Structure 1
Amino acid sequence: MKKLIVGVTHPISTILLRGQLKFMSEHGFQVFLMADSSKNLDSFCKEENCTYIPIHIKREISLFNDIRTLFEVLSVLRKIRPDIVNFGTPKMGLIGMLASFFLKVQLRVYTCRGFRFETAEGLLRTLLIGMERLSGKCSTKVICISPSLCEQAIALNIFSREKICLINKGSSNGIDLNLFSINSIDLEKRKNILLHNNLVDSFVYGFVGRICEDKGIKELYEVFSRIHFFNKSSRLLLIGKIEDSLDKTFLSNLLSHAGVVYLGVIPKIELPTYFSIFNVFVLPTHREGFGNVLIEASAIGIPVITTTATGAKDAVRNGYNGILIPLNDIVELEKAMLRLQNNSEMRKKYANNGVMWAQNFKQELIWNGLLNIYNAL
């Protein structure tokens, strides 16, 4: 039985692995999950039929801690002697690739889930690019999770063209189309949400994701404020964690706006019901690895608006299931939001097409593609 170690930095990233580890276990692999310490991962690994390996790893750059983590990972790899490793997220990707390269693990897969350097500047940008290049050089295979991420990697000479691969049309773990389906909508709960938040007669723009500048929240708020000024029945429904880095004055204005409804973090299993409340889903993001949330919205039958940012543009067919706008273009963002608000036939067309489009990203397609890579060893 081949031994497979899959590693991510933060336990929250295991949401990108749900179902995948169990699938590999069912196909003959002894699977291990390596991540920062968390009690929640014991139950996750039990569900996924894999062995949890907790290690001490910090998300931010810290030379002393990172060297300690490298030796810890080296020790684990020497003990388990895996046939295959698959490390992703910048910090675990770099440390895991270095350790497995030193120990000559036969198949070393680096899963690139996006480029943090795209929104960084100066020395930090240079350092992040260097980390990605080193991770790529230590790997035997690099999985980029979207077509535009592949293109960016090649254009900037981040990874060797020969090592890069893309599974199907993209996404690191695919979309659970059993969950993200109109059949998953709790109609009674939906009714209660509408009533409780005074949304019954409103046109609702929805946003799901980290509430931070990288996701375009400032542009979205600026445009929505103008739309609401002329149409008091419009609402902006926000779901997600507010990042600490967000400007406090801006955050206060956002949350106190008469048209904004903030619902906090919602369990993933409940998201289909909340998605169904949106008339339009809007994600004016600055960068993505792949826009999973855009496919999730499409699968529920919600028209989407996003930018031509790396990763995001691969999740939308412009004029088919949504609208693509240029990055940081509030004029085009406003046009797109108003166009969909004022055109119910366009919304219906994009909604129907979105359900079909989402079929390209079902989880089994990604898992089988990954299995083929592992079995090629």
Structure 2
Amino acid sequence: MSKLIRTSTIALSLDYLLKGQLFFLKQQYKVLAVSGSDMHLEAVATREQVQTIDIEMQRSISPLKDLKSLWQLYWLFKKEKPLIVHSITPKAGLLTMLAGYFAGVPIRMHTFTGLIFPTKTGFLQQLLIGMERVLCYCATNIYPEGQGVRNDLIRYKITSKNLQVLANGNVNGIDTSFFNPGNFTDQQNQELKNRLEIQATDFVFIFIGRLVGDKGINELVAAFKKMQSQKANVENLEPNVLPNNDNAKIKSQNSKLLLVGPLETELDPLDKNTLQEIEENPNIISVGFQKDIRPYLAISDCLAFPSYREGFPNVVLQAGAMGLPSIVSNINGCNEIIIEGENGTVIPVKNTAAVSDAMVKMIEDTDWRTQLQQNARPMIVSRYEQHLVWEAILAEYQRLENQIPMPKIKE
């Protein structure tokens, strides 16, 4: 049985982004999962039933630690002699492809799950572009997670190698039997709403992800505050003097903003005003990191996801599978999953007014919202069911394996 090594910078990515995939591949390959050791790597070993190896990799640029990780990967590959190494996430990609190149691994694959450099400028952007070019030079095969990522790799001239998007995109697809609103009863939903003090008449917007600037949290919180201010202004007017402004005609229906994800204060902290609003606004509910996000999706009405950059965001797939329409930024991945007016709406990046207007419309235009809700789950099931992605990845492994020339037999 041929050997396959999968790597990621942090074990969280193996645990969540590749959930179930390694066990599936284990039926055809001897699979090793490599990342820094923590509870997530332990979860991978238990759930996927694969061997795990502890090699710590830094997310940020750290020359000495990066060299140590590169050396450890090189000797691992020399020892294990894998047929395939396949990396996800930026730093693991660079180190794995370099180590695989020098160790002579026959098939060296990297999947770009997102690009950092398009949002950077100056020297840092040029440095990141250079690192990506080295990665691609050392890889034998490159796989953008979606068409948007592919277009950026071409536009910035990162590589001239063939860029193939597997299946319809995404690194793992989605288990639509797991992400299914039918898994939750009305009683379960009501119990969670009671615990979070969400009323039956509340319209619930949900965000899922890290609470950092790049995810658009500053704009989202400001937009929610703006929407509430408009609503308050309208309710204080006499009925016969309502302004002729669609954005101001907000019904008395209350709204909540549910934030599901960890607050990160190191790499990309939120503005002080945003943090204060989250803390003081009783209609903003922040529940932190949740291992199972489905119960929170089940009690929500719409995903609000104004991120600055993504590869192919799982949360938009997950929300759609749970029957939620989405408000997303016009960025890679999001604008491939969400089709304007069919299963959500696509808005400009870094635009507080656009976020607010979309939230108002989602509440006010019930016919439009109902149409989006009806389309949300079927559009995800038909394009991104998990086994479609897994089978495409396995088929690609087998295709590449069959292309390796057989060693000549000496007479």
Amino acid at match of 1:246: L
* Residue 372 (structure 2) aligns with: 350
Comparing 241-250 with 143-152, which one deviates more in the overlay? 241-250
* Residue 81 (structure 2) aligns with: 81
Deviations 1:222-277 (A, max 9, x none): 11101112336221111101111223443122221132111111112xx2221122
Structure index of larger Rg: 2
Deviation at 1:67, TM superposition (A): 0.8
Are residues 1:10 and 2:16 paired? no
Deviations 1:24-54 (A, max 9, x none): 111x200000101224423421321211011
Q: Distance in 1 between matches of 2:46 and 2:196?
A: 38
Amino acid at match of 2:24: F
Comparing 272-281 with 362-371, which one deviates more in the overlay? 272-281
Deviation at 1:76, TM superposition (A): 0.3
User: Identical aligned pairs, as a percentage?
Assistant: 31
Match of 2:298 among 276, 279, 294: 276
* Residue 252 (structure 1) aligns with: 276
Q: Distance in 2 between matches of 1:38 and 1:333?
A: 37
Q: Distance in 2 between matches of 1:155 and 1:104?
A: 30
Gaps of 5+ in 1: none
* Residue 106 (structure 2) aligns with: 106
Match of 2:394 among 361, 368, 371: 371
Are residues 1:321 and 2:343 paired? yes
Deviation at 1:87, TM superposition (A): 1.0
Query: Secondary structure of 1:137's match?
Result: helix
Comparing 317-326 with 199-208, which one deviates more in the overlay? 199-208
Q: Distance in 1 between matches of 2:184 and 2:166?
A: 30
Q: Distance in 1 between matches of 2:186 and 2:120?
A: 43
Are the aligned partners of 1:57 and 1:69 in contact in 2 as well (CA < 8 Å)? yes
Are the aligned partners of 1:184 and 1:272 in contact in 2 as well (CA < 8 Å)? no
Are the aligned partners of 1:287 and 1:312 in contact in 2 as well (CA < 8 Å)? no
* Residue 62 (structure 2) aligns with: 62
Q: Distance in 2 between matches of 1:41 and 1:185?
A: 29
Q: Distance in 1 between matches of 2:43 and 2:221?
A: 38
The number of residues matched between the two structures is: 373
Cα distance change on mapping 1:210 and 1:165 into 2, 3 Å: same
Deviation at 1:198, TM superposition (A): 2.5
Matches within 5 A, 1:1-377: 1-14=1-14, 15-26=16-27, 28-160=28-160, 162-200=161-199, 201-231=201-231, 233-244=254-265, 245-268=269-292, 271-359=293-381, 360-376=383-399, 377=401
Cα distance change on mapping 1:57 and 1:30 into 2, 3 Å: same
Are the aligned partners of 1:85 and 1:107 in contact in 2 as well (CA < 8 Å)? yes
Q: Distance in 2 between matches of 1:43 and 1:227?
A: 41
Q: Distance in 1 between matches of 2:101 and 2:46?
A: 29
Deviation at 1:73, TM superposition (A): 0.5
Are the aligned partners of 1:228 and 1:259 in contact in 2 as well (CA < 8 Å)? no
Q: Distance in 2 between matches of 1:152 and 1:120?
A: 13
Amino acid at match of 1:255: E
Are the aligned partners of 1:294 and 1:315 in contact in 2 as well (CA < 8 Å)? yes
Comparing 40-49 with 107-116, which one deviates more in the overlay? 40-49
Deviations 1:303-346 (A, max 9, x none): 11101112221121111000001112223222211111101221
- Report the aligned-residue RMSD: 1.4
TM-score by length of structure 1 reads: 0.95
Q: Distance in 2 between matches of 1:39 and 1:291?
A: 23
Q: Distance in 2 between matches of 1:314 and 1:35?
A: 30
Q: Distance in 2 between matches of 1:63 and 1:164?
A: 29
Query: Secondary structure of 1:263's match?
Result: strand
Deviation at 1:372, TM superposition (A): 1.1
Are the aligned partners of 1:7 and 1:87 in contact in 2 as well (CA < 8 Å)? yes
